[in-house]
């Protein structure tokens, strides 16, 4: 087994469980599917594998899962998380036929946490810190909304604040210039596993290419090592993937989210 295959096996076994959705407020099961409900009217469909199901069975599951979420008027958006290495005949076509839309495909990156901890020189005037206070979290959320091309959403900020209140190990990190957040991301140690995830990485366009995201990643990796985690995983855009590859993370598969909106 290659190192990439070892990482992917660990990913499937350790992360594609309840560990994937620590902030869920409800989880229902439909065959191998986990139908997750998050605060803020968000549904999320995931699974460890589909057990070799046929296209016909998968189509039935998609229809039943969507009916489940449609029956709850509080649900406004559902994400169906697919992985490129899964055997899932007809899934993409069925999701599209049921009103889901594909978002950007990202790379599943995994590697040793220690490989990411190198010191990185920051541009003049840039500082890093972990944030915990509500005004900082709201400012971080607004910056991420803007960078991702979304309208600034109080709902997104509220979801992060609710998650922070759980005190489940999640850490929020930012890079600032003259009191303004220019880059941000979170660290999510996964209880009972070797893994910590790095998520939500966003850097304002004018500050990219200067090592800020790399430094923010190193800070989160050092925090993960302190917590005893040995592996880092991330779903990475084509912007962040090359940065992680340079420091030893491997692209083990891909993930494509499909979204249904009420």
pLDDT tens digits, 194-220: 999 999 889 999 999 999 999 999 999
Q: What is the pLDDT of residue 223?
A: 96
Q: What is the pLDDT of residue 132?
A: 96
Q: Give the residue, 69 or 240, on which the prediction is more confident.
A: 69
User: Residue ranges per domain, the chain?
Assistant: 20-107
- Is pTM beyond 0.85? Reply is yes
- Can you spell out the DSSP letters for the chain? --HHHHHHHHIIIIISSGGG-TT-SEEEEETTEEEEEETTTEEEEE-S--TT--HHHHHHHHHHHHHHHHT-TT--EEEEEEETTS--TTHHHHHHHTT-EE---EEEEEEEGGGG----PPPTTEEEEEE-SHHHHHHHHHHHHHHTTPPP-HHHHHHHHHHHHT-SS-EEEEEEETTEEEEEEEEEE-TTSSEEEEEEEEE-GGGTTSSHHHHHHHHHHHHHHHTT--EEEEEE-TTTHHHHHHTT-EEEEEEEEEEEE-
Q: What is the pLDDT of residues 82-91, one digit of tens each?
A: 999 999 999 9
Q: What is the pLDDT of residues 106-157, one digit of tens each?
A: 999 999 999 999 888 999 999 999 999 999 999 999 999 999 888 888 888 9
- 232 confidence band (pLDDT: 50, 70, 90): very high
């Amino acid at each position: 087994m290659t190192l990439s295959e070892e990482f992917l096996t660990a990913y499937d076994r350790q992360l594609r469980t309840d560990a994937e959705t620590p902030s869920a407020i409800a989880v229902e099961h439909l065959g191998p599917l986990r139908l997750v409900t998050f605060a803020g009217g968000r549904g999320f469909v995931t699974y460890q594998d589909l057990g070799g199901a046929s296209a016909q069975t998968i189509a039935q599951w998609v229809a039943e899962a969507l009916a489940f979420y449609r029956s709850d008027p509080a649900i406004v958006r559902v994400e169906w998380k697919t992985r490129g290495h899964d055997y899932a005949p007809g899934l993409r076509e069925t999701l599209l036929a049921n009103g889901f839309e594909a978002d950007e495909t990202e790379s599943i990156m995994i590697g040793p946490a220690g490989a990411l901890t190198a010191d990185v020189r920051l541009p003049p005037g840039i500082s890093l810190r972990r944030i915990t206070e509500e005004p900082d979290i709201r400012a971080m959320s607004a910056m991420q909304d803007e960078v991702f091309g979304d309208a600034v959403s109080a709902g997104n900020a509220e979801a992060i604040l609710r998650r922070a209140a759980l005190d489940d190990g999640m850490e929020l990190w930012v890079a600032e210039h003259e009191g303004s957040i220019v880059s941000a991301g979170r660290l999510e140690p996964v209880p009972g596993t070797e893994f910590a995830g790095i998520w939500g990485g966003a850097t304002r366009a004018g500050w990219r290419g200067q090592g800020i995201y790399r430094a923010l990643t190193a800070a989160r990796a050092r925090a993960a090592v302190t917590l005893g985690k040995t592996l880092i995983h991330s779903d990475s855009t084509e912007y962040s993937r090359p940065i992680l590859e340079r420091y030893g993370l491997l692209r083990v598969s891909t993930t494509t989210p499909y979204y249904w909106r009420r």
